[in-house]
Amino acid sequence: MPRLQENVSLLPYNTFGIEASTRWWMEVTSEAEAVEFVVDNLHARRPVLPLGGGSNLLFTRDFEGLVLKMGIMGREIVSEDAHEVIVKAGAGENWHELVRWTIGHGWGGIENLSLIPGTLGAAPIQNIGAYGIELKDVFHSLEAIHLETGQIHHFGAADCRFGYRDSVFKRELKGKYLISQVSLRLSKQPVLHTDYGDIRQELERLGGVPDVKKVSEAVCTIRRSKLPDPREVGNAGSFFKNPVISQAHFDELKGQYPDMPAFVQADGVKVPAAWLIQTCGWKGRRMGNYGVHDRQALVLVNYGGAQGADIYELSSQILASVQQQFGIALEREVNII
């Protein structure tokens, strides 16, 4: 049984670099020990916060419960044929390192998701996505431990009810499961997705015949040029979701803002939140030791020593500003504790 610790600082475990602490802390490194702990001890230490890489969290206060740090590792090939391979990995695996591993084998499907911070276990919760690809596009299944009973349940894609940066684990099942293993379906004959953002231009700069490795390199270059490294400036990546509005609402706004970018999709028109925030004048604004990044308006940053409550208040001001100017209600993508 892993050691249960008390009053542990969470500063090293969140990429925002916010000082907070948790009443209890435990790192689990296998399904068996996680199940044993849930059955024998968990009932006395509520609430529970499963923690991966801490890259999508903002702590606004100390956590008066138990943080379960996911440390289940390992990768394996579950099945394969001439066309595809299903790989299964522990929820504690670093996401980008897993991407690199699959690219090393020549398998395609997640190269566009390169350099996204965090662990594999958090990926289906958030349905991570970038450059035209989402996790749901390659998702096969997952295993998760029920935090009331200790039973291991299996979830297929339909069970997860994926949406835009959303899943059942952020809604009805929030805080009820600890994801332990995730399986992905990858292609041995990759179809490259290069039409989103600046990928095609970056591939032309790299030269040669495009493949999954080059797409990954292009994505990494683009991300590094736009997003701050959490090791240097505290942040949690994109803080807000891109809103989807009605065609009528967009047509009305387009008359006022002719250069307003948008992506038409089945459920409406997706508008880049970064453009909305920048147009409201927030990009690059600094409030002492925190603010909005000067190269990407979606990213709120901690320059050092900021309080989570201050960053949360800044996000509230941005929400109000966009609502007032455009009549659009932005949503936070980052989980607030």
Active site residues: 165, 238, 333
Which parts of 163-317 are beta strand (E)? 177-187, 234-238, 244-245, 263-265, 268-270, 286-287, 290-292, 299-302
Which parts of 190-297 are beta strand (E)? 234-238, 244-245, 263-265, 268-270, 286-287, 290-292
Q: Return phi, psi of residue 42, to 5°.
A: -65, -30
Long-range contacts of 290-294 (CB under 8 A, 24+ apart): 290/314, 292/318, 293/227, 293/228, 293/233, 293/235
Is 179 in contact with 124 (CB distance < 8 Å)? Answer: yes
Give the strand pairing for 63-70 and 21-28. Answer: parallel
Give the strand pairing for 129-130 and 5-9. Answer: unpaired
Is 330 in contact with 322 (CB distance < 8 Å)? Answer: yes
Is 134 in contact with 142 (CB distance < 8 Å)? Answer: no
